[in-house]
C-alpha cells in the first residue's frame, strides 16, 4: 500500500506513534509518505520506502495566522496525485482530519479515503472546546475510519461528542526487539558511577505531565537513599523543574538531557520510571520503559491502568500524591530483587499486549477493511 501519514512532528505521543507506525509499515513493504510542516522527530530519512513532503505555509498580511489547514489539504491532494496514494492516515483530529476531508473532496471523482486516529488531548482538551467541538465531531463522523489508542479514549469520545459511528480501539505499541534491557550502552555508569539506582522521566514537559512532581518524588527518595534522576525531553515546565532542583541542592544528582533520539538506550539504563501525569490517554512512555524491563510508578488516570497493572509491573497513585509515589519508589529501589522481578513482569506484559508485531497487522487489516468499504 501507498499511505500518506500526517502528524505533528513534535516531541509528543501522537507524533511519536505516527512516526513509529510509518517506519514499521515501511519495514513490512509499504510506501510511506509523511506530510507535515517539518520531518517527524523520529523519522528515518534514509529508509528508501519513507518519504517526506513539506507543507509550505505562505504568510500574508491579511492573515493574523498562516492558514495551515488549507495548505495541508492542498499538499495532501498534491501527494495523492503524484504518488498515487491508497489512503491518508491522519493523527490528531485538529486540524488534520479537517484537511484530509478537504483533500478527499477535492480529489473527487477519484477515491481518497482517510483514517483518523484520536490520541487524547485532541478530544479531551482541544476538540471539546466549544470553538472546535462541532468541526471536530463533523470530521470524525466524516472520516472513512476512526481509531482510538485506548478504551478510555473511546469512552471519552463517545461521551464528549455523542458519536454514533463505530470507532476501533488499536492501542499504542512498542518495537519489542528494539526496546529491551540490553539496549543500555553503558549510560548507567555515566550517570551513576557508584551504582546508584536511576529514576527516569520522559515527556514533552507540558504542565499536564507534572514534571515538577517527578522532581519532588525524587527529592523524597534521595533523602532516604543515594539515587539519580534522568529527565528526557524539553518544554515549558523545564524552568520550574530546574528551580526545584537548585532549591533542593540536587544539581549533582539530576540530569536534564533535553530531546533525545534512540530513547530505548536511555530507558534501558533506568531502574524505575516515573509518569506522574495529570492525565494520560495511554501512557506510551511508560510502555516503552516497561519493554526495557523498567517498573513504572504512574498516576491512576485515563488509559494508564490499561498499560500498568498496580502491584504487578508497577504502582498507580493519584495525581499530585508525591509522598505515596515516593513510598512505592523506595520500596522498589531498596530491594533489588523486587525491582528486577517487577521489571521482568513489565516486559512480559508489554510483549503480550502491545508489541508492534501484533499491533501493526491490526492497522494493516483495518486499512484493507476501509479500502474495501469505501
Do 365 and 346 lie in a common domain?
no
Contact by Cβ (8 Å): 347, 292: yes
Number of alpha carbons in the 13 Å side-chain half-sphere of residue 257:
21
366 pLDDT band, cuts 50/70/90, is very high
C-alpha cell at 100: 484530509
Average pLDDT over residues 180-187: 78
Do 154 and 191 lie in a common domain?
no
Residue 116, phi then psi, degrees to nearest 5: -110, 125
Supply the pTM of this predicted model. 0.90
Domain that holds residue 163: 2-173+355-373
The pLDDT, as a whole number, for residue 223 is 95
State how many domains the chain has. 2
Q: Strand, coil or helix: what is 86? A: coil
Average pLDDT over residues 242-269: 93
| C-alpha–C-alpha distance, residues 248 and 44, integer Å | 40
The pLDDT, as a whole number, for residue 168 is 95
| C-alpha–C-alpha distance, residues 340 and 272, integer Å | 10
Q: Which of 83, 112, 80, 116 is nearest to 97 (CA)?
A: 116
Do 19 and 165 lie in a common domain?
yes
Q: Which of 61, 63, 62, 43 is nearest to 53 (CA)?
A: 43
Q: Which of 165, 147, 172 is nearest to 282 (CA)?
A: 172
Do 167 and 311 lie in a common domain?
no
Do 160 and 297 lie in a common domain?
no
Do 367 and 290 lie in a common domain?
no
Contact by Cβ (8 Å): 274, 200: yes
C-alpha cell at 92: 490528531
Q: What is the pLDDT of residues 69-115, one digit of tens each?
A: 899 999 999 999 999 999 999 998 888 999 999 999 999 999 999 99
Do 271 and 329 lie in a common domain?
yes
The pLDDT, as a whole number, for residue 291 is 96
Q: What is the CATH number of the domain that holds 19?
A: 3.40.50.2000
Contact by Cβ (8 Å): 202, 232: yes
The pLDDT, as a whole number, for residue 93 is 85
Give the residue, 162 or 272, on which the prediction is more confident.
Answer: 272
Do 150 and 199 lie in a common domain?
no
Residue 296, phi then psi, degrees to nearest 5: -125, 135
| C-alpha–C-alpha distance, residues 86 and 75, integer Å | 15
Q: What secondary structure letter does DSSP report for 123?
A: I
Average pLDDT over residues 213-218: 97
CA distances from residue 289 to 83, 176, 266 in whole angstroms, order as listed: 37, 11, 9
60 pLDDT band, cuts 50/70/90, is low
Which helix (H) or strand (E) segment holds residue 38: the answer is none
Q: What is the pLDDT of residues 286-304, one digit of tens each?
A: 999 999 999 999 999 999 9
pLDDT more than 70, % of the chain:
95
Do 32 and 80 lie in a common domain?
yes
How many helices (H) and strands (E) the chain has is answered by 14, 13
Residue with C-alpha cell 481518497?
112
How many C-beta atoms lie closer than 10 Å to residue 338's C-beta?
A: 13
Number of alpha carbons in the 13 Å side-chain half-sphere of residue 169:
15
Q: Which residues pair with 2 in a beta bridge?
A: 31
Do 304 and 343 lie in a common domain?
yes
Contact by Cβ (8 Å): 57, 35: no
The pLDDT, as a whole number, for residue 122 is 66
CA distances from residue 38 to 6, 50, 55, 67, 92 in whole angstroms, order as listed: 11, 14, 8, 16, 16
Q: Lowest mean pLDDT: which of 123-127, 220-224, 245-249, 349-353?
A: 123-127
Amino acid at each position: 500500500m501507498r499511505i500518506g501519514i500526517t502528524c505533528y512532528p513534535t516531541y509528543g505521543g501522537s507524533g511519536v506513534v505516527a512516526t513509529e507506525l510509518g517506519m514499521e509499515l515501511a519495514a513490512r513493504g509499504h510506501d510511506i509518505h509523511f506530510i507535515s510542516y517539518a520531518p517527524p522527530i523520529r523519522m528515518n530519512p534514509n529508509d528508501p520506502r519513507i518519504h517526506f513532503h513539506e507543507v509550505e505555509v505562505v504568510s500574508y498580511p491579511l492573515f493574523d495566522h498562516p492558514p495551515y489547514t488549507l495548505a495541508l489539504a492542498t499538499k495532501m491532494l498534491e501527494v495523492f496525485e503524484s504518488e498515487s496514494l491508497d489512503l491518508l492516515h491522519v493523527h490528531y483530529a485538529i486540524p488534520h482530519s479537517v484537511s484530509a476531508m478537504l483533500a478527499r473532496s477535492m480529489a473527487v471523482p477519484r477515491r481518497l479515503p482517510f483514517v483518523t486516529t484520536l490520541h487524547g488531548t485532541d478530544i479531551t482538551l482541544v476538540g471539546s472546546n466549544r470553538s472546535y467541538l462541532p468541526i471536530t465531531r463533523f470530521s470524525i463522523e466524516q472520516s472513512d475510519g476512526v481509531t482510538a489508542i485506548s478504551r478510555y479514549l473511546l469512552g471519552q469520545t463517545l461521551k464528549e461528542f455523542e458519536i454514533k459511528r463505530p470507532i476501533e480501539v488499536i492501542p499504542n505499541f512498542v518495537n519489542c526487539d528494539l526496546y529491551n534491557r540490553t539496549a543500555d550502552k553503558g549510560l548507567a555508569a555515566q550517570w551513576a558511577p557508584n551504582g546508584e539506582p536511576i529514576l527516569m522521566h520522559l515527556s514533552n514537559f507540558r504542565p499536564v505531565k507534572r514534571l515538577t512532581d517527578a522532581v519532588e518524588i525524587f527529592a523524597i527518595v534521595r533523602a532516604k537513599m543515594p539515587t539519580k534522576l534522568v529527565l528526557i525531553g524539553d518544554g515549558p515546565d523545564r524552568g520550574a523543574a530546574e528551580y526545584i532542583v537548585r532549591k533542593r541542592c540536587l544539581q549533582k544528582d539530576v540530569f536534564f538531557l533535553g530531546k533525545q533520539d534512540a530513547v530505548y538506550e536511555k530507558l534501558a539504563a533506568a531502574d524505575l520510571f516515573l509518569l506522574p501525569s495529570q492525565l494520560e490517554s495511554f501512557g506510551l512512555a511508560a510502555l516503552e520503559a516497561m519493554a526495557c524491563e523498567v517498573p513504572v510508578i504512574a498516576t491512576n488516570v485515563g488509559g494508564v491502568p490499561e498499560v500498568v497493572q498496580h502491584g504487578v509491573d508497577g504502582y498507580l497513585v493519584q495525581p499530585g500524591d508525591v509522598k505515596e509515589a515516593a513510598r512505592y519508589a523506595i520500596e522498589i529501589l531498596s530491594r533489588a530483587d523486587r525491582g528486577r522481578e517487577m521489571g521482568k513482569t513489565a516486559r512480559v506484559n508489554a510483549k503480550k499486549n502491545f508489541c508492534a508485531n501484533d499491533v501493526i497487522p491490526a492497522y494493516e487489516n483495518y486499512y484493507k477493511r476501509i479500502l474495501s468499504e469505501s
